[in-house]
Structure formats: C-alpha cells, structure tokens
Structure 1
Amino acid sequence: MAKPFLSNFEIALTPLSPVHIGCGEDYEPTSFVVENGLLYSFASGTVALPEKQRNELRMLVGPAAVEDAGISRIARFFDKYKQTFKPFAQSIVPIDSAPLKQFRNLLEGAKGPDLKTIAQNRIERTSYCIRGGFSMPYLPGSSLKGALHTALFDRIHQAKGTGPIEKKDGGLKLDEILLGGTMNLSPMRLISVSDFMPTSESVITRITMGRRISKKHPLTEPPEQAIPVAFEVVEKAQYQAFKGSLTLRQSHGLPGEPDPQRSYQTVNDICKDLNRFSLAQFRQSAEQKYWTNSPNATAKWFA
C-alpha cells in the first residue's frame, strides 16, 4: 500500500528537564518587582503613577535626574512601590534563591551608575506568547526542528563512519555532505513543525541561575570564572504541557527532490532519532560533569 503524500500528526510534549529557549528579551530591574519568592513582571509604561511617585521617578530617570542615580536606586524605587506595580503584572514567576540573592544585592548596591551591574541583573526570558493579557511560555517549532536536524546529522554521520569532518568543510556544507544538499534537496524540507503552545494557563516557569561556560575551554575553565546568568525555564515534569503538530511529506526521488534514503519515512523514525541522540548527549554530559562544564556538542563532527 502506497504511503500518503502528506501525513499530519498531533503531538503533545512533556518536558523531562527544565527548558529554556531564549526570545531575545529580558526581565529587567525596571520592569519587575519581587515579593514572597515571586517575580511580578509588568510593562512599566502602562502603570499610571500618582503625581508624587511620577516626580520621584523623574528625579531618577528624567532630564533632572541625579547624576549618580544608578540602577540600584531605580530598582529600589520600584521595590518601594511594589504594591502599586503588582496589579499590572503580565506574568508571575517563582524565583530561586540564587537569582533572588542577586536581586537583593542590587537593591543594596552602590548608588553610582554601573552598566555591568545592569547587565548582570537582567533575567533572560524564555519564549512566550500573550494569552488573555498574560504571558505564557511556548516552544517554537523552529527550535524543535533544529533539534531534529542535529539528530539526523548525527545518525547519518555515524552510519557513514568517516570520522570527524574537516573544519574547512563545516558550516553550511554539512547539509551537502551529510544530507545530500541544501534548500530543496534537504530532507528537512519534507518536515514542517508547528509551534507547541501551552495546553492550559497553569504551565509553570521558574527563574533560576546558571553559568556561561567558555566554548573554547569547556572542560578546563574553573567554575568560579564562568559568568553567572539568571534565566527563565519551563518547569520539568508538566504532563503534556504543550501541544503542536508535525507534517511529514514523502519524497519519491525525482529530480530536485531530497534523497528518499536520507529522508524520514514515518514519525516513529523521527522519535527514535530524537531519543537516541538525546540519550547519548545526556550520558556524555553526565560523564563530563555537565552541570559544571558544558562540552561543545559539535566537537565530534570537526577535527
């Protein structure tokens, strides 16, 4: 029996570990307040302040601002009037002790302007959408397809048994070398992945702390030299927290089509590749002390 030209699958995702997919936005000290272990995020421009508070804020950030106002004094202003800002929160997120301590240090910090302090007190947001006036996390389809792209690379490369690819042949040429071509010739062209949206308004995120590890020296850099960074994650073990769809098209090997031998035939093949690659990465990272050192995932592909 011939396979259908197009097959569509509805998929539910349960995160097994914390997930962070950046969106290029941050929680900044001028757009959130913290109380009782919860971060209340709001758009400060939408809050109508009484005249007294407006004048006080102008002294910090307006044309007549005190020169040494600094980010700490501005953050203390928002903290002082947190009860004014809390009702305007678009998201309410639990915050771990480490980023909470960092925020408290900011409130108690020096008065002078310090760009480094500003950067350190930004909290990287995970990808989100707006639903009913509130921020909700979601998983972009492009990120999920990228993970599949990597898993397919890995399987085909291991099957070829050619060893590391010379760096001069890396980059975009990986698609040509391993997948048989780019654009219309790539097997990834046959796969469409939707964004995975939250299944309820109770999908939980959390603010936690990590460290940026040098890509050049991931296993030798002392942990204390790594750059601390706070970021938002989707909490683990939320059963079927996200739902989306995947569409798979068949290739018949005609001119201008991807190679059927390198293309996925069923969604089960896709799941097997993702599970195989992810499990191998987990085992490798566990052996190399992943939580303190982060190895370059592509190192085995390049000499």
Structure 2
Amino acid sequence: MGYFRIRTLTPVHIGMGDDFVPTQYVIDGGKLYLFDEFTFYRSLSETERKAFANIAGEGIYALKRFYRNRLDLAREIAYQVLPVDGEISKRYETQFNRDGSLNNNRLEIQRTATIEGASLPYLPGSSLKGVIDTSLAIYPQEIRDNAVRQNLQVSDFVSAEAQTWCGKAYRIHKFKDKPGKGIPIMVEAIEPSSIFVGEIGSVKKGESDRIFSMEEILEALDTYAKHSGGHEYRKYRSELEAGEYLFRMGRFSGIDFTCVSRCKPAVTHTVIDDHGKKGQPFGWVAISMIDAETYWTHLRRYEEKLEERLAKRSAIVQRLESAEKKRKEEEHRKIEQQQEEERKKAEEEARIAAMSPFDRKLHELVTTHPNKNETVDIILFSTLKRGELDEFRCQALRRIKKEMQEHGKWIEKSKKPEKDKKYKRTMEMIKMLEECEG
C-alpha cells in the first residue's frame, strides 16, 4: 500500500444520502448551528416541552419560531458550526413569498460524506476507487468479471483540518453566459485547500494477476482528467505543486467524468459560489504520493481531532444528563414537598373537624384576622362588641377571662383604677360574666 495526499482545488461534495433538516439546526449570523433534536428536547423545561408538543404539528415554520426563541440553547448544545452563504440565510429567514403565500421550501441541505458522530468530512475510499476504476478502464462495463478490480485497494481519505460550508449549487451553461435548467439545491461542500491522507494499493486478491503500480494509477487519473476536463483541466493544472497529479471526483463532476464512450457532451454543469468566487466547479483535486512519516503525522492529527470532536459530543451528553438528573431531583423534591403539605393540610382539616363549634369559630376568627400578632382575648372581645358572637357569648367571655389571666391582664385590684386599662377591662368582663351566671 502506498501513502497519498489529496489537496482540494475547488469545492468537493460527496453525496451520502443524508441532509441537514431545519429541525436539527438554526441559522444565525451567517452560521449554521447543528444539534441533536433529542438533546434539544431533553434540555427544555417541563413548560417548554409542553409548548413544543403543542406546536409540533403546526409545520416547519412554527418549529423554526420555537427554535429561534431558544437560540441560546441551540447554540449551546450545537456539536457542529458551519458557515452558510447569504442566499441560504435569506431563504431560512423567508417565510412568505412575494404574493403572500407560504414559502414551501423545506430547507434541507444535502450533507457531504462525514465521519458519524464527529462531523469530520472525509473522502470515501469507494468514491475514489470508482474514479480510479474509470481512469484505468476496469469498471464493470468494460470487463467481464470483477477480479481485476478486487486487486485495487483504496482506503478512506481523512483530514484533521478540512472545513466545510453550506452554499447553493446551481447549473450554468458551459459555453454561453446563461443559466442552465434545473432547480438550485443547497449543499454542504468541502473547502478548497483542504488536505486529506489515505492509502492506495494494488495487490493480488483474486484470480487476476493484473497489478497496477502507483505511478500507473496517478498517470491514469491525470490522463483521464485531461481527456474529460477541457479548459478546466488546463486551468487547474497550472495550480499543481511538484509531484501532484490532477483529477476530479465526487458529485457534480458531470457526465464527462462518469462516461467514457458514446456519451453526448454536457452543455451545462453544476457550480457553486465559493465565498465571493462566482460559479466555481465541483470536484477538482490534486493527488500526490507522500512518505510514511508525513502520512502518520497527518493521521495522528486526525485521530486527535476525532477524539476531540467525540469528546465534545460526549461532554454535551454528560452535561445534559447532569442537568436532567438535577431536574428530576428537583421534581422529586417538589413532589415530596407537595405530599408533605397535603399531609399537613389533611391533619389540620381533621383537627379542625374534631373541634367544638365554638373552637372552630375561634379558629376562623384568628386565622382570618388582618393582624396576625393580635391576641385571642382582643379578637374575641372586639368581635363580641360587634355583636357577632351572640350564640357563643358565654363561651367567648370565659375564654377571654382565661387568656387575660394567662397573660397577666386580669387585674381585680388597682391603686389607680381610673387610669388602669387592664383593671377597667377586668371590671367590664366581670360584669359581662355575671350575665352568664344568672
């Protein structure tokens, strides 16, 4: 197996059959924040979860509004942040068309091939192997069996530094200054100048003895690109570094790079605006052989980045689980507190139910009195004066006497009777009690 480096010269998109959907991201300030939907839901409060459930069936724009209101949360739990071009940001913010009708754009963004869980872009070995098969003319249409292809081994090409962004892919005419047919689509693309490393080898695996040298593979890739690439080949050939060979791979490379015979030449091709550079073609890359030390240096950096990304996802989950645990503990505490309050309430209701009619009336007077510091004797005395305790008059008078005695207010003798309020109140009470003795 030989060690190789691939350097992207233009944006690259490797289709993986997966999309960014607007229930998994928010766009703010020219950036897409990608998050896990379940993590977002679990991070909501109980009230927010109910609100989320209520609007879940109202359509994508209702969900977008909800996410927008919790932008802080979406950004906090985002495990990937991508730049997006202005066209995508505008489409994300636009809810209605010019005629007032609802914009039905569902805002899916087609992802490029990515290491699951780490959101690191990579070049699948199967994609690269397809290009090499075509360049060497060993694709199934040209041979009767698969034995030759089995001798070609291609690993995935990985990167620690590669970045992606989201833009609008659209078709234009190759030879005229006018747009091509077709609806533009939103895609994630690998940035130019990204570096990937991997292994390519040719060893006997099956019945065929056909083995390819590394130089033969590189020459075949470059020759095929020259044959199919036209003026674009000449343009990007001038950007090669020493030891590099030019070829094209990935989605949107066009029919010229997927068909070798009896193909009608394409008159339109798909391009993307790359950070101000209009109409950039997809898939032009440079490949070169590297030594083992360079390969393993890149691979170690990739493994460190992979571990870092996975640790970030794990940290988000752990933080969420910790918050979830605290939330459940708080809910449990509230339930216990509520149960304790209900128990005390039941006990109090039972205690009140067991009281005599007078004691229940007294309890009501005390608990509803505006001055919580007022004494029982004063509350009862003022209530009697208002004529509101006639049915319990004698019981109330005896209770007043008892309260006054216990608190040192019952004074039957005084040196200054004219000025002694307690003495006067005691005399008044004695007179009133005489009515109960008669």
Please show how residues 92-171 of structure 1 align to structure 2 within 5 Å.
Answer: 92-106=81-95, 117-118=105-106, 121-130=107-116, 134-153=118-137
Q: Any idea what the Cα deviations from partners look like across 1:137-183, whole Å, max 9, x if unmatched? A: 11110000011111122xx8xxxxxxxxxxxxxx95x232xxxx322
Q: 238, 250, 271: which one pairs with 2:218? A: 271
- Counterpart residue type for residue 261 of structure 2: W
1:192 pairs with one of 134, 153, 158: 153
Distance apart, 1:99 and its partner CA: 1.6
Q: Tell me what 1:283 maps to.
A: 230
Paired position in structure 2 for 1:301: 261
In the alignment, which residue of structure 1 is the partner of 2:145? 182
Task: Give the 3 Å change call, closer, same or farther, for CA 144–209 of structure 1 in structure 2.
Answer: same
Q: Structure 2: how far apart are the matches of 1:109 and 1:41?
A: 29
1:54 aligns with 2:41: no
Contact 2:2–2:200 (Cα < 8 Å) also in 1? yes
Query: Counterparts of 2:44 and 2:97 in 1: how far apart (Å)?
Result: 24
Q: Which has the larger radius of gyration?
A: 2
**Cα distance in 2 between the residues matched to 1:55 and 1:93:** 30
- Equivalent-residue separation in structure 2 for 1:145 and 1:243 (angstroms): 14
- Cα deviations by residue, 1:193-249 (Å, 9 ceiling, x for unpaired): 011112x2x421010111268xxx9999x73641110000110012xx211111211
Shift of the 300–193 alpha-carbon distance from structure 1 to 2, 3 Å rule, reads closer
User: How far did 1:128 drift?
Assistant: 0.7
Aligned partner of residue 281 in structure 1, secondary structure: helix
- TM-superposed deviation, 1:296: 2.8
Structure 1 position 117, deviation (Å): 2.3
Which residue is 1:247 aligned to?
A: 201
Aligned residue for 1:3? none
Match of 2:77 in 1: 88
Counterparts of 2:209 and 2:34, CA distance in 1: 48
Counterpart code for 1:117: N
Shift of 1:76: 2.0
> What SS does structure 1 have at the residue aligned with 2:12?
coil
Question: Post-superposition shift, 1:135?
Answer: 1.1
Q: 1:41 to 1:101 in 2, by over 3 A?
A: same
The higher relative CO (CA closer than 8 Å, separation ≥ 6) is in 1
Aligned length, in residue pairs = 242
The aligned amino acid for 1:302 is R
**Structure 1 72/209 Cα, relative in aligned 2: closer, same or farther at 3 Å?**
same
1:113 deviates by: 8.3
Of the three residues 13, 19, 37, the one matched with 1:20 is 13
1:27–1:125 CA contact under 8 A, matched in 2: yes
* Letter of the 2:169 counterpart: G
Give 1:72's match in structure 2, choosing from 61, 85, 88.
61
Distance in 2 (CA, whole Å) between partners of 1:209 and 1:20 is 12
How far the C-alpha of 1:71 sits from its partner, in A, is 1.4
Aligned to 2:208: 258
- TM-score of the two chains, using structure 2 as the length reference: 0.49
Q: Percent identity of the aligned residues?
A: 28
Could you list the runs of 5+ residues in structure 1 that have no partner in the other structure? 1-7, 157-170, 288-292
Q: State the secondary structure of the residue aligned to 1:207.
A: strand
Question: 1: distance between equivalents of 2:260 and 2:97?
Answer: 46
> Quick check: 1:127–1:138 contact (8 Å CA) kept in 2?
yes
C-alpha RMSD of the superposition: 3.3
